[in-house]
Amino acid sequence: MTEPARPDGQLPDIVPGSGLPRTGDGTLPAVRPLPVRKFADLLPPAARPATHRAPAAEPTPAGPPADQAERREEHAHVHTIVRMVGLAAFESISGVRPVHQLARWLEAGQYEKLRCRVALVAATQPDDGSRLHRNTAIRRTRLCPVGAGAYEASLVVAENDRVRAAALRVERRHGHWTVVELQIG
């Protein structure tokens, strides 16, 4: 945020410690506080506590309120699927979960790639029991709609000794959501 140059060529007077220019009367300019976001506002409507009321949403030109509610519900549903499939994939790679549990959620080619990766990891690591306690947890999820019935997501997943990333593309196929692309870093 820059202020236009003064005709006399001098820089604006800055209030010490604030980095803000003084106004004509020597006071600080009014600064609007940032809105406070509560954790409960981020939960899907079904998971919110009964006593909590979400702030009123600003109307958008995207469509009628019923359409917006359906999109929010779909977004929350896909978000849950992405977190579940991502966590299960990392648990399969670490040897905690059988990979066949993901067959329903992954496209056939993606399932086969994951199954091969799990087999390779299992063949290269010694079976000393250390793989069973990886404490895999999802730290962050980003979900972005990319088209009608298609979302792309990124995950940050933490294990005991490392943090990893994953990217997923989820599409609605034959009436249910399927992961059509899964990249694990």
pLDDT digit string, tens, across residues 97-108: 889 999 999 999
CA 78 from chain center: how many Å? 11
Q: Which tokens is 106 given?
A: 């992954």
Residue 77 has pLDDT above 80, yes or no: yes
Report strand pairing: 137-147 vs 163-173. unpaired
Determine the Cα–Cα distance for residues 166 and 157; give it in Å rounded to an integer: 8
pTM exceeds 0.85, yes or no: no
105: buried, middle or exposed (CB in 10 Å: 19+, 13-18, 0-12)? Answer: buried
> Taking the alpha carbons of 26, 30, 34, 36 in that order, is the dihedral positive or negative?
positive
C-beta atoms surrounding 86 within 10 Å:
25
Instruction: For residues 177 and 183, give the distance between their C-alpha atoms in angstroms, rounded to a whole number.
Output: 17
Render pLDDT for 124-171 as a digit per residue (tens, 0 to 9).
877 666 555 568 889 999 999 998 889 999 999 998 888 999 999 999
- Return the pLDDT at 33: 62
What is the distance between the alpha carbons of residues 93 and 114, in angstroms, rounded to a whole number? 8
Length of the chain: 185
Question: How would residue 59 be classed by pLDDT, with cut points 50, 70 and 90?
Answer: very low
pLDDT band at 39 (very low <50, low <70, confident <90, very high): low
User: Can you say how many angstroms the Cα of residue 68 is from the centroid of all Cα atoms in its chain?
Assistant: 20
Question: Which of 27-41, 59-73, 74-88, 154-168 is predicted with the least confidence, judged by mean pLDDT?
Answer: 27-41
| 144 touches 126 (CB < 8 A) | no
Lowest mean pLDDT of 25-29, 82-86, 139-143, name the range: 25-29
Confidence bin at 85 (pLDDT 50/70/90)? very high
Compute CA 63 distance to the chain's CA centroid, rounded to the nearest angstrom: 24
Cβ–Cβ < 8 Å for 90, 164: yes
